[in-house]
A and B are shown apart, each in its own frame.
Chain A
Amino acid sequence: MDYAVETIDLTKVFSDWWGRNKIYAVDDLNLKVNYNEVYGLLGPNGSGKTTTLKMLLNLLYPTKGKTILLGASSSDPKISARIGYMPEESYLYRYLNARETLNFYGSLFKLPSKIRKMRTESLLDMVGLKAVANRPVGTFSKGMARRIGLAQALINDPELLILDEPTTGLDPMGTRQMKDLVLKLAKRGKTILLCSHLLADVEDICDRISILYDGQIQTEGKVKDLLRQTNKKQITTGNLSDTAIQKIKQLVEKENAECSISSPVEKLETFFIKTVITARKQRKVTSGAVADSENAIADFLVEEQKEELKRAEILDKLVSTDVSTEQKAEPAKAEEAVKMEKTLVADRELLENLTKLPDTSTAQPTHAKQKAEPVETDTISAGEQAKNLLDQLTGEKESQNDEQQKKGNPDKDSEK
């Protein structure tokens, strides 16, 4: 099976000039990152995360083992042309301004001048640095430097994005934007490998994680699987009266289970962002980096997604007309589809009642992400049902599934 990132028995030993004091920074590491997933590399300081990334990027050479990125070695310029890398600090030329920085890195990819210029402007817009595009990077704050660091990593529209501590130095807004961006890029089919100390960030955006210690993987798996507490259940409801709470407690105690009931607490990050958005609406001017719009993403990074949306629209149109004609041709199947739709609508209503959030505007990207998990894709939109119906009628379902698996499941995006 092909992996976007693969290490085979990767080992890195550091020793002094005389070859003494051997330290195993990475020890027989076998890392496998699938295409189109967000993979988090966690671990305490000195656990070998950054060393691993540096070996992947050919900045360090393995003592033993080998690394494979996108099916080949990263020393091949053809491979590095498909990779974006943001180091733990934005190591940029202090004397270049933001625009020149992106232009320089773009020219290393041999991007034609027009495209380079277009991407530079889009990325500056995306990271909120357009207003300071002519200021030397050396005068930037840490957060602004991280933003331009991210922009340089995206200048080539990479297939694989390697992020070392992506949210370090960013304010909560920037952190949120970074996480949203990672999710959007993932939706677009990019593979993202990141390492971070900020566990909450990793939890929010990663599909899978591994925890490194002493250069070895201690545990690896899907975030949800690793964190799920199967011996406990959680129910979230709307506001309840004291009587209802007592009844629920009694009901739970009858089952010999412990029960604690409290009002949910909003995340500080969400609260902070709401406050800042409110202030921004009141036109309170601030200095530094300002993104033009929430969740902004450079045009060229979503071009493919737009194409997919267009294709989906065309498909929807075809489906809406074709269903009726197909129904005429095969009335039995059409009746079955209508029955199925009714059942699904009833199920969806039930599910929505059970999982209703107190304030939908504060929904986290995590929730959207979780919905994307295959085990919870019970809710299907009308367009989706129509598409499924078309697939069933045309017998293309299986072949599409195969393709989706290869391309990164664009349907996952619409669900998210």
Chain B
Amino acid sequence: MSRIWAVAKNTIRQAVRLKTVAFLVLALLVVLLLMGENASGDGTLKGRLQTFVSYSFSLTSLVLSVFTIGLIVYSLTNDIKQKQIFTVLTKPIRRSQLLLGKLLGVFILDFILLAIFSFTIYAIAELTPRFINTSKQELNRAKNEFFTARMKLTPQKVDVSEKVRKMYQEMKKSGKLQQKFPNMSQEAIIRILTWRQEQWTRAVAPGQELIWEFQNVKPLEDAQSLFLKYKYDVSVNPADLKVTGAWFVGDLRQIQYGAKVQTPVHEFARKELIRTYYEEEVPSNVVADDGYLAVGFLSPPLNITTILFPEDYLQLLYKADTFTANFIRASLLILFRLTLLACLGIFAASFLSFPVALLLCLAVFTTAHLSGFVMEALDPATHDVGLFYSYTIKPLIHLMPQFDKFSPVKFIIPAQLITWKFLAEAFAMLVCIKSFLLIILSLCIFRFREVAKVVT
């Protein structure tokens, strides 16, 4: 371990002596301060805070990612190019220790720099409300919708697979398949039927109601409100693009079974625009003692169209942790990402020269931000390609780091709780599996690399 530590210290010293770190810290700190001063968003305090944190977090993550890739790739390839590795590897140090030492050095630097920048962003965000003139309502909104960590509950997806299977069999028996779905494969027909049935589970015709039930709703003790976030879609657009909805939030079991009401039920009815998110503040005492909460929706008969709730149409948000704790977890997500990038850098540098290794890392880094989109786009589109896709392209795409899935900004901006489970999943995927695989590959390649060989 002492040899790994010696190499790590040397790597840190290299970064510091090259003035890279000093320049980076100063430049980024200045930019963060300027952003804190100038961010405006939609003009509200919440909007201003969201804009600042969104941009500053993204910028910090981007700069540190590029710095990590650059430093680790430079550190190893430069050692080989300038031949310092000759004097190091002829000492009693294993090649694996050299690589791990460099990784440790970069990790420590990343940790320190991330701590500095995260603290700066946090401090600016916390201090912003004190230095700008704003109304009490704005402050309250920022407190409830930004300076918090809210658990997000969404309705469970209804399993329609059995129903779809039966429908398919019936259509096949009656010979309607060719009539309704001419020249389509079984897989394609089932996909269409599934989509339709799922739509129906979220459809409410005029005069009908829909109830969603949630278990284990546990707001923090100091939380005074819950938030119901919803969005409408419709089968036929009304003239004014608005629909009316009546909502009931509380322990609806009391009403259904005629028992004495123990907890209050929050009700409201509004005419609102379609395809627009709305957020309703609900008192937290509507939650039953056992953590049960139901949300009911009634489409009044005066609506002339069927309301179709889109995917991710309904969210129940409640304060489950503090902003500070959530912010720390968001920073940890960035640290996991940097760890993976450091491992990617050492992997590339173990067999490539500086410019090629850097290019490879930056290409993967860019793709990693789009991997979710690529997967979503390719998975359905390549269903018919079958085995070839499943065993070649698909595993490669899934090996991509998937930074968009584990983006901290997605959580911090809507003040959504980053659960420990999610954090553990990110750690397992980014560090334990992908980083570990990259380290093992790097060690195998570097073990057999002739470092003194002149590559022509």
A residues in contact (CB < 8 Å) with B:
14, 16, 54, 57-61, 74, 77-78, 80-81, 83, 85, 87, 89, 91-93, 95-96, 100, 104-105, 107-110, 136, 149, 152, 156
> When the two chains form their complex, are residues A78 and B90 in contact, meaning their CB atoms are under 8 A apart?
no
Inter-chain contact B13/A59, CB cutoff 8 Å: no
Contact A81 B92 (CB under 8 A): yes
Check if B18 sits within 8 Å of A108, measured CB to CB.
Answer: no
B451 adjacent to chain A (CB < 8 Å)? yes
Q: Is B93 an interface residue (CB 8 A)?
A: yes
Interface-facing stretch out of B78-86, B107-115, B284-292, B429-437: B78-86
Q: Is the CB of A58 within 8 A of B89?
A: yes
The minimal Cβ–Cβ distance linking B151 to chain A, given in whole angstroms, is 49
Determine the main DSSP class of A at the interface with B: loop
Contacting A61 at CB < 8 Å: which of B85, B90, B450, B456?
B450
Contact B92 A93 (CB under 8 A): no
Contacts of B5 in A (CB 8 A): 107
Taking a contact as CB atoms under 8 Å apart, the answer to whether B6 and A108 are in contact is yes
Given A54-B452, A104-B6 in contact, is the A92-B87 Cβ separation under 8 Å?
A: yes
Least Cβ–Cβ distance between B121 and chain A, in angstroms: 31
Q: Closest Cβ of chain A: how far from B258's Cβ, in Å?
A: 78
Q: List B313-334 residues whose CB lies under 8 Å from chain A.
A: none
How far is A74 from B91 in the complex, measured between Cα atoms in Å? 10
Please determine whether B456 and A16 come into contact, CB atoms closer than 8 angstroms: yes
B17 near A: Cβ within 8 Å? yes
Cβ–Cβ contact B14 & A93, under 8 A: yes
Q: How far is the CA of A13 from the CA of B446 in the complex (A)?
A: 20
Whether B456 pairs with A109 at a CB distance below 8 angstroms is: no
Of the candidates A16, A77, A100, A152, the one whose C-beta lies within 8 Å of that of B92 is: A77
* CB–CB B92/A80 < 8 A: yes
Give Cα distance in the complex from A59 to B91, angstroms: 12
Other A-B pairs beyond A74-B90, A136-B17, 20, CB < 8 Å:
A57-B86, A57-B89, A58-B90, A59-B90, A60-B453, A77-B93, A87-B87, A91-B82, A91-B84, A91-B85, A91-B87, A92-B87, A93-B14, A95-B18, A96-B10, A104-B6, A107-B5, A108-B3, A108-B6, A110-B92
Q: Which residue of the partner chain, among B18, B93, B450, contacts A60 with CB atoms under 8 Å?
A: B450
The yes or no answer to B210 lying at the interface (CB within 8 A) is no
Task: Confirm or deny: B2 has a beta carbon within 8 angstroms of a beta carbon on chain A.
Answer: yes
Most chain A C-beta atoms within 10 Å of own C-beta, residue among B18, B85, B87 = B87
Q: Given A59-B452, A107-B2, are A87 and B83 neighbors across the interface (CB < 8 Å)?
A: yes
Of chain B, the residue at the smallest CB distance from A84 is: B90
B88 touches A (CB below 8 Å)? yes
CA distance A60 to B3 in the complex (A): 22
Q: A95-B14, A107-B6 are in contact. Are A59 and B87 (CB under 8 A)?
A: no
Query: Is B165 located at the chain interface by the 8 A CB criterion?
Result: no
Q: Which 7 A-B pairs have the closest CB atoms?
A: A95-B17, A77-B92, A59-B452, A107-B6, A81-B92, A91-B83, A108-B91
Residues from chain B with a CB closer than 8 A to the CB of A108 are 3, 6, 88, 91-93
- Kindly state whether residue B94 has any CB partner on chain A within 8 Å: yes
Chain A's closest residue to B101 (CB) is: A108
Smallest CB–CB gap between B197 and chain A, Å?
57
Complex interface bits, B1-34 against A, C-beta within 8 A gives 1, otherwise 0: 0110110011001100110000000000000000
Q: In this complex, what residue of A is CB-closest to B94?
A: A77
Known contacts A59-B451, A96-B13; A85/B87 CB under 8 A: yes
Distance (whole angstroms) from the CB of A250 to the closest CB of chain B:
61
Closest A residue to B454 by beta carbon equals A14
What's the minimum C-beta distance from A215 to chain B, rounded to whole angstroms? 16
28 A-B contacts (beta carbon < 8 Å) = A54-B86, A57-B86, A58-B90, A59-B90, A59-B451, A60-B452, A61-B448, A74-B90, A77-B92, A77-B93, A80-B90, A80-B92, A81-B92, A85-B86, A85-B87, A87-B83, A87-B87, A89-B83, A93-B14, A95-B18, A100-B13, A105-B87, A107-B3, A108-B3, A108-B6, A110-B2, A110-B3, A110-B92
**Could you tell me if A93 and B93 are in contact, using CB atoms closer than 8 angstroms?**
no
A85, A91, A156: which has the most chain B beta carbons within 10 Å?
Answer: A91
Number of B residues near A (Cβ < 8 Å) is: 29
Chain A residues, Cβ within 8 Å of B6 = 104, 107-108
Most chain A CB atoms below 10 A, which of B82, B90, B450 = B90
In the complex with contacts A93-B14, A110-B3, A152-B87 CB distance below 8 A: yes
A316 to chain B, nearest CB (A): 39
Q: How far is the CA of A252 from the CA of B11 in the complex (A)?
A: 72
A92 CB contacts on chain B under 8 angstroms? 84, 87
Instruction: Assess the B91–A93 pair: CB atoms within 8 A.
Output: no
B451 to nearest A CB, angstroms? Answer: 6
B453 neighbours in A (Cβ, 8 Å): 14, 60
Given the complex, which residues of A lie within 8 Å of B94, measured CB to CB? 77
B86 to chain A, nearest CB (A): 5
Query: In the docked arrangement, what's the CA distance between A105 and B10, Å?
Result: 10
Chain A neighbourhood of B88, CB < 8 A: 108
**Which residues of B sit under 8 angstroms from A95, Cβ to Cβ?**
13-14, 17-18
Report how far A95 CA is from B456 CA in the complex, Å: 28
B350 to chain A, nearest CB (A): 16
CA distance A59 to B452 in the complex (A): 5
User: Which residues of A sit under 8 angstroms from B13, Cβ to Cβ?
Assistant: 95-96, 100
A104–B3 Cα distance when bound, in Å, is 9
Query: Which residues on B sit within 8 Å (CB–CB) of A60?
Result: 450, 452-453
Q: How far is the CA of A110 from the CA of B83 in the complex (A)?
A: 22
Q: How far is the CA of A14 from the CA of B456 in the complex (A)?
A: 11
Query: Chain A residues near B85 (CB, 8 Å)?
Result: 91
A96 / chain B contacts, CB cutoff of 8 Å: 10, 13, 17
A152 to B90, CA, bound (A): 11
Q: Which residues of B contact A54 (CB under 8 A)?
A: 86, 452
- B449's nearest neighbour on chain A, judged by CB, is A61
CA–CA, A67 to B2, complex, Å? Answer: 28
Cβ distance A244 to chain B, nearest Cβ, rounded Å: 58
Cα–Cα distance between A152 and B85 once the two chains are bound (Å) = 13
> A156 to B9, alpha carbons, bound, how many Å?
20
- For B7, give the chain A residue with the smallest CB separation: A108
Report the Cα distance A87→B86, complex, angstroms.
8
Residue of A at shortest CB range from B453? Answer: A60
With the chains together, A156 CA to B10 CA distance in Å? 19
> Smallest CB-CB separation from B98: which chain A residue?
A108
* Interface membership of chain B positions 418-456, coded 1 if the CB is closer than 8 angstroms to chain A and 0 otherwise: 000000000000000000000000000000101111001
Q: Which residues of B contact A58 (CB under 8 A)?
A: 89-90
A109 touches B91 (CB 8 A): yes
B92 touches A109 (CB 8 A): yes
Query: How far is B17's CA from A136's CA once the two chains are assembled, in angstroms?
Result: 10
> In the docked arrangement, what's the CA distance between A108 and B18, Å?
23
Contacts of A14 in B (CB 8 A): 453
Q: Which residues of A contact B14 (CB under 8 A)?
A: 93, 95
Give the chain A neighbours of B83 by CB distance below 8 A.
87, 89, 91
Does B90 lie within 8 Å of A93, measured CB to CB? no
Against A, the Cβ 8 Å flags (1 = close, 0 = not) of B270-299 are 000000000000000000000000000000
Give B246 Cβ to nearest chain A Cβ, in Å. 71
